[in-house]
Amino acid sequence: MPEDTLTNRLYEQIAQIPIRDPHTHISPHQPAARCLDEILGYHYYTELAHSAGMPHNPLRPDYPPRERCRVLLRYLERFDNTVQASWLLEIAQTFLGFPKSRISAEDADWLWDKAELVMSAPDWDKQVLTRSRIEEIFLTNDFDDPLEGFDTRLYVPCLRTDDLVFRLHQEGVRQRLARATGIEIGEVRQLRHALDRLFEHFVRHGARACAISLPPDFTPLPPEPGVFPRLDSPSPELSRYVFWTLAECCQDFGLPFDLMIGVQRGVYRHGVPQGQDLFDQRTSLSQYRELFNAFPRVVFCVSVLSSSQNPELVAFSWIFPNVVASGHWWYSNLPGFISRDLTVRLQGVPKSKLIGYYSDAYKLEFVLPKFNMFRRVLAQVLAEEYVRGRGWSEEDAVQLARQILYDNVASIFPAAKRTE
Amino acid sequence: MPEDTLTNRLYEQIAQIPIRDPHTHISPHQPAARCLDEILGYHYYTELAHSAGMPHNPLRPDYPPRERCRVLLRYLERFDNTVQASWLLEIAQTFLGFPKSRISAEDADWLWDKAELVMSAPDWDKQVLTRSRIEEIFLTNDFDDPLEGFDTRLYVPCLRTDDLVFRLHQEGVRQRLARATGIEIGEVRQLRHALDRLFEHFVRHGARACAISLPPDFTPLPPEPGVFPRLDSPSPELSRYVFWTLAECCQDFGLPFDLMIGVQRGVYRHGVPQGQDLFDQRTSLSQYRELFNAFPRVVFCVSVLSSSQNPELVAFSWIFPNVVASGHWWYSNLPGFISRDLTVRLQGVPKSKLIGYYSDAYKLEFVLPKFNMFRRVLAQVLAEEYVRGRGWSEEDAVQLARQILYDNVASIFPAAKRTE
Amino acid sequence: MPEDTLTNRLYEQIAQIPIRDPHTHISPHQPAARCLDEILGYHYYTELAHSAGMPHNPLRPDYPPRERCRVLLRYLERFDNTVQASWLLEIAQTFLGFPKSRISAEDADWLWDKAELVMSAPDWDKQVLTRSRIEEIFLTNDFDDPLEGFDTRLYVPCLRTDDLVFRLHQEGVRQRLARATGIEIGEVRQLRHALDRLFEHFVRHGARACAISLPPDFTPLPPEPGVFPRLDSPSPELSRYVFWTLAECCQDFGLPFDLMIGVQRGVYRHGVPQGQDLFDQRTSLSQYRELFNAFPRVVFCVSVLSSSQNPELVAFSWIFPNVVASGHWWYSNLPGFISRDLTVRLQGVPKSKLIGYYSDAYKLEFVLPKFNMFRRVLAQVLAEEYVRGRGWSEEDAVQLARQILYDNVASIFPAAKRTE
């Protein structure tokens, strides 16, 4: 906690704002962790432990989970400087009543036992939701997700489309699409029909966004009229065709399109699961100019993987009415990057077009410490730039926080009319 | 205003330094605004309002101006977080006596009426100049500007050359050139002769710089000897030829060359006027290496559009004697970017080679709030890095400010010998 | 010195940590300066003076050295804002007893005379080592350096390989290689044999790293099996072949490989010696993906020349176990860049994989002021992010400093088994 009292006061008020988390990987069927292994199994910990020297062996599925946690906490000593380690500490303190200010290898058994105890409560997920003041959790749903068995007002479906755009040439993906929609597409011109079915299904179940992650060299362009790429082999043309058709669906069904730009998959081939992807900074939002021009009614919520691209994101969301600057994604999700990136977004982009933060979490327990990390940075920026720098009242500063963290989630991702 | 008292003291002293503004778009024939519409018509407001949802209709020329201002101030509520909105507030407070600390839609009529009242004073531009302590305003003149009817010591002509470099293939541009110089160029080898006439005309009227904005992929190279690109169709060769010839003229006539690097024109095709341009971060000052080598006696005052390119600008102006780091252009003109970019320029570039700031303003009223924004950042950097960090006296810190803001404008853009 | 007392306390403690400097250009045969000319002759001063207007003439070898220093100090007035000037002041104060807080042209003779006096002491280098608390100085050795006549535990040999990778097509380089190894390579497939001899020689003399600087467009790839590039003409294939073979040697001999990425040589052709190189920001660590995958047992200590590439460096050293983020190189070695780059490295990379700083110095006197510059930034980051921000004890914060500055130099560059 920073010692500045103004910043502290702002933080305390911002921490009262309930959380609407507009992008996560949480499963609505198992939203909270059931044991310490599901906390320490988060790829941030496995990849940092591996980066710091941990071999792959403890990550094998048949490795005893309690022992795996012991191993991970031994390696934690090598990366306890990271902000990811501070999330773990905050989880331990907030949800497990951990009394110390640092976690070391000797705490492994205490943490394991305490986690077993509290996480086995039948209402554990509700406890986490309540203690974290979480109101909405946006999901990342496979396109063939039945979207059933959970409260879609709390767990908001979002259609994730990476499989469609980059793997439609795989027969398995097309079979899943056929099963989900009842439409077998033999050629690409039938795609739109199948996607309409998907979008109908998602919107009917309360979906509020379509989402995709994109590699640095992706450049969406409209399909050439009358030219239809082959379905059965991968090609940039096929990916662009599918992507463009998805944007048309977003327009017709009124869904915002989350673009998470810049990830290169599988760069570190021997990395731990989900710890293999990196990026190439030689990319530009300028690659998306035709898309942004072509779909003025689709709201594109853009995240960039490299903080160096933030100046582009500021400029594009300042100029294009349909481009929204969204959160601090993955490798950009460090307080040092957030502080700089957030400051200039607030200074240059209409406040109605900023999505302050999303957690990207896999388990509910991570939502609070990640949001709190962002809230601390936000409180500092508001104190320095707005209250001290521009003479705003504290109320106005907190209201700005509320808008980018809470109000805008409702206005940018409006709840679709429900036909259920 | 920051609460730090040292910073405040430095700011107060820096604010006493008269303004020499080395790059604006002000018209010497109508330098100040005549009504609120000319303040709110600044593209920063129309584009931000449009970005925040305002349709094009209120920007039509036949739309009633008072009503247009009402509409814009209604949309202002959506971007009152931006620093651009803070310029408006400072203008209202400083020049219109606006008594509140925030502007809302209800203030539209008060502001309109007050602006009508004060701006109709026959000496309004003088009042703004005096209150802003403005000594020099550099202009942006079309190459065929007669440069007459104004005091060229106050309003300093600068030859803007985008039309020549990128649109000489257009017959209209060549006709304007013929009218301005009396020389009809039928082929490109006659260009130098016509340009000499232009430069003579500009220098005779007190011009102190040649200026151009350049797209991210522009790479100046010397023309191949004996090869002359066609005049009547656009080509990179033609643009490079004209550009290189301009650099030769700068050398022969002793004019600095302002290079504003990185803008991509017309990216958002349906944007409001002047609100359509963006950039592609994939550009490098390395593209200018041949130019900087070939013209050691031309001072190149370089601005970059993306803050991410600032490390290059620091390094190139640190190494090349003829490269000067100049201001904080357009999308980089946010305090968060300025703070970082300025800090490292001061730490790495000789102080004699820094042009602190230019306003880029279209109306005199904007010069003061924009310079004040820069002065606040500068005061903070000087307080932290020089007075506290290096033990400089406050006098020395203020003198550093004076050098980069005031002295260097005289030394880098020396007044040409006047033959008038 | 910053006024914050916590930062000051941390700085004082960090300043007690002895220096292990893992990359310099110091000569073990003449490590300290013998006169003021060897201080002011540092390329940072000659290039900044030249950038600020100094002609080449005073840099001629036959120019009287005392007069050269007078000239340089006259030009210093134009760049006394730079951090490089502050190193000079700290050297003058610490090693010459200079009593003032700023250096001006009038101090030239005083400084010259005092330098003559103290630097002529036969144990001057020992005095500098002691006063600077230097324990280890890593060298930059030509591949044909005999590595004799000095204490390799204090002056640690490192094999510099630019000549081999980029100039092996030159007959002179191949002759030097033949003399150094006794192996004349007539074709490239004999290279490995010669390199083995070099590595044996270096490891036998206590070498602890292999090092190279690389241009922005370099992309290491494994040689195509059975294809051998020609030795006698320069080609990307030849450079890649040599580079890959060096990486194999690093693996087999257990040497870390320092990669200093991004320099473009000879950009400013008329620059002063060592003041001609710049960079092109259009580069990516993604170009090194195959290398990092292929050599999991080689530790790659990566430096980047542009601070804009730091987000990539954070991400790659966060993910790849064999990538270490190393120091703040050359144009990135300004406190403003260091502060940002260091903050996010500490937040995102395991502390065991950070090499805090190296001086890159040519003379011992520069090691202390450069490390002190880094230490001030580090103290500030630790105060704000760790002690205030995360509630760490001051001891823990100082221990983090010790790890990245001192402990890691031992663990990342382990002393090879000595066979001497």
The tens digit of pLDDT for each residue in A289-308 reads 999 999 999 999 999 999 99
HSE-CB for A181 with a 13 A CA cutoff: 22
Residues on chain B touching C48 (C-beta within 8 angstroms): 318, 350
User: Which pLDDT score is estimated for C4?
Assistant: 84
Predicted confidence (pLDDT) per residue in A84-131, tens digit: 999 999 999 999 999 999 999 999 999 999 999 999 999 999 999 999
Residue A4: band (very low, low, confident or very high) from pLDDT cuts 50, 70, 90: confident
Predicted confidence (pLDDT) per residue in B195-235, tens digit: 999 999 999 999 999 999 999 999 999 999 989 999 999 99
Q: Where do the H-state alpha helices sit in B303-334?
A: 310-319
Q: Which residues pair with C300 in a beta bridge?
A: C257, C323
HSE-CB for B133 with a 13 A CA cutoff: 10
Predicted confidence (pLDDT) per residue in C373-389, tens digit: 999 999 999 999 999 99
Q: Is the pTM of this model over 0.80?
A: yes
Interface of C with A (CB under 8 A): 282-286, 289, 292-293, 296, 308-309, 311-312, 314-321, 340, 343-344, 346-353, 384-386, 388-392, 396, 400
**In whole angstroms, how far apart are CA A21 and each of A77, A139, A404, C183?**
30, 9, 12, 65
Find the residue in C nearest to B391 (Cα): C1
Q: What is the mean pLDDT of residues A34-51?
A: 98
**In whole angstroms, how far apart are CA A264 and each of A282, C103, C307?**
12, 51, 21
CA distance between the termini of chain A: 45
- Burial pattern C97-114, b for ≥16 Cβ within 10 A else e, equals ebeeebbeeebbeebbeb
Sign of CA dihedral B23, B26, B31, B37: negative
Interface test with B, best of C54, C73, C281, C282 (most B CBs within 10 A): C281
Q: What is the mean pLDDT of residues A148-161?
A: 98
- Rounded Cα distance, B388 and B382, in Å: 8
In chain B, the largest separation of any two C-alpha atoms, in whole Å, equals 66
Q: What is the 3-state secondary structure (H, E, C) of C317-348?
A: HHHCCCEEEECCCHHHCCHHHHHHHHHHHHHH
Chain centroid to CA B232? 31
Q: How many CB atoms lie within 10 A of CB B206?
A: 19
Query: Is the Cβ–Cβ distance between B155 and B232 less than 8 Å?
Result: no
- Rounded Cα distance, A264 and A276, in Å: 9
Query: Is the Cβ–Cβ distance between B77 and B49 less than 8 Å?
Result: no
Does B101 sit within 8 Å of A391, measured CB to CB? Answer: yes
Query: Is the Cβ–Cβ distance between C383 and C10 less than 8 Å?
Result: yes
Does A352 sit within 8 Å of B336, measured CB to CB? Answer: no
Q: Could you write out the DSSP letters of every residue in C137-174?
A: EE--B-TT----SS-TTTEE-EEE-HHHHHHTTSHHHH
In this structure, what are the phi and psi dihedrals at residue C60, rounded to the nearest 5 degrees?
Answer: -60, 145
* Three-state SS at A174: helix
Q: For B132-217, where are the E strands, in sequence order?
A: 134-138, 155-156, 158-160, 209-214
Residues on chain C touching B285 (C-beta within 8 angstroms): 278
Consecutive H or E run containing C388? none
Q: How many CB atoms lie within 10 A of CB C173?
A: 16
User: Which pLDDT score is estimated for B415?
Assistant: 86
pLDDT of A353 above 80: yes
Provide the token pair at A173: 């993906």
- Rounded Cα distance, B181 and B337, in Å: 42
Residues on chain C touching B351 (C-beta within 8 angstroms): 78-81
Provide the token pair at C308: 């804009």
Interface test with A, best of B5, B74, B276, B281 (most A CBs within 10 A): B281
Residue A416: band (very low, low, confident or very high) from pLDDT cuts 50, 70, 90: low
- Rounded Cα distance, C194 and A245, in Å: 58
Chain C closest CA to A14's CA: distance in Å?
17
Query: Is the Cβ–Cβ distance between B331 and A317 less than 8 Å?
Result: no
User: Which pLDDT score is estimated for B245?
Assistant: 98
Interface of A with C (CB under 8 A): 1-3, 47-48, 50-53, 78-84, 86, 101-102, 264, 267-271, 275-282, 306-308, 331-332, 334-337, 340, 376
User: Which pLDDT score is estimated for C115?
Assistant: 98
Of A52, A81, A331, the CB nearest to C400: A81
State percent of chain B over pLDDT 70: 98
Interface test with A, best of C318, C322, C349, C399 (most A CBs within 10 A): C318
Chain A closest CA to B325's CA: distance in Å?
19
* Three-state SS at A281: coil
Query: Is the Cβ–Cβ distance between A336 and C343 less than 8 Å?
Result: yes
User: Which residues, at least 6 apart from C6, have a Cβ–Cβ distance to it below 8 Å?
Assistant: C383, C387, C388, C394
Query: Is the Cβ–Cβ distance between B21 and B367 less than 8 Å?
Result: yes
**In whole angstroms, how far apart are CA A277 and each of A213, A313, C164?**
12, 22, 33
Residue A188: band (very low, low, confident or very high) from pLDDT cuts 50, 70, 90: very high
User: Residue holding tokens 């130099």?
Assistant: C409
Interface of C with B (CB under 8 A): 1-3, 47-48, 50-53, 78-84, 86, 101-102, 264, 267-271, 275-282, 306-308, 331-332, 334-337, 340, 376
Q: Which residues pair with B212 in a beta bridge?
A: B259
- Rounded Cα distance, C82 and C89, in Å: 11
Does B102 sit within 8 Å of A321, measured CB to CB? Answer: no
**In whole angstroms, how far apart are CA B344 and each of A83, B391, C195, C331, C339?**
26, 18, 41, 10, 11
Beta strands C158-160 and C155-156 are unpaired
Sign of CA dihedral A409, A410, A411, A416: positive
C273 Rama sector, left if φ>0, alpha if ψ -120 to 50, beta otherwise: beta
Residues of chain C with pLDDT under 50: 1-2, 418-420
Residues on chain A touching B384 (C-beta within 8 angstroms): none
**In whole angstroms, how far apart are CA C226 and each of A269, B269, C241, C406?**
25, 53, 12, 44
User: Which pLDDT score is estimated for B420?
Assistant: 42
DSSP state of A141: B
Does A347 sit within 8 Å of B281, measured CB to CB? Answer: no
User: Which pLDDT score is estimated for A216?
Assistant: 98
Find the residue in B nearest to A343 (Cα): B336
- Rounded Cα distance, C403 and C345, in Å: 14
The ipTM, to two decimals, is 0.97
Q: Where do the H-state alpha helices sit in C223-302?
A: 236-253, 289-294
Count the helix, strand and coil residues of chain A and give each as a percent rounded to the nearest 5.
50, 10, 40
User: Which pLDDT score is estimated for C10?
Assistant: 98
Q: Where do the H-state alpha helices sit in B22-82?
A: 36-40, 43-51, 65-76
Chain A closest CA to B97's CA: distance in Å?
17
pLDDT of A418 above 90: no
Q: What's the angle, vertex CA A142, arms to CA A138 and CA A148, rounded to 5?
A: 70
Radius of gyration of chain B (CA): 22
Q: What is the mean pLDDT of residues B330-348?
A: 98
Residues on chain B touching A318 (C-beta within 8 angstroms): 47-48, 51, 331
Residue B2: band (very low, low, confident or very high) from pLDDT cuts 50, 70, 90: very low
Sign of CA dihedral A290, A292, A298, A304: positive
- Rounded Cα distance, A144 and A160, in Å: 10
Consecutive H or E run containing C211? strand C209-214
Query: Is the Cβ–Cβ distance between C265 and A242 less than 8 Å?
Result: no
**In whole angstroms, how far apart are CA C236 and each of A255, C264, C419?**
48, 15, 37
The long-range contacts involving C142-151, CB below 8 angstroms and separated by at least 24 positions, are C142/C176, C143/C176, C143/C177, C143/C180, C143/C198, C144/C176, C144/C177, C144/C179, C144/C180, C147/C201, C147/C202, C147/C205, C147/C207, C148/C205, C149/C28, C149/C29, C150/C28, C150/C29, C151/C28
User: Which pLDDT score is estimated for A3?
Assistant: 64
pLDDT of B4 above 70: yes
Residues on chain C touching A84 (C-beta within 8 angstroms): 348
CA distance between the termini of chain B: 45
Average model confidence (pLDDT) for chain B? 96
Average model confidence (pLDDT) for chain C? 96
Q: For B4-95, where are the E strands, in sequence order?
A: 19-21
Does A52 sit within 8 Å of C353, measured CB to CB? Answer: yes
What residue type is A414 in one-letter code?
A: P
DSSP state of C223: P
Predicted confidence (pLDDT) per residue in B352-410, tens digit: 999 999 999 999 999 999 999 999 999 999 999 999 999 999 999 999 999 999 999 99
Contact partners of B by the rule of 3+ C-beta pairs under 8 A?
Answer: A, C
Q: What is the mean pLDDT of residues B150-179?
A: 98
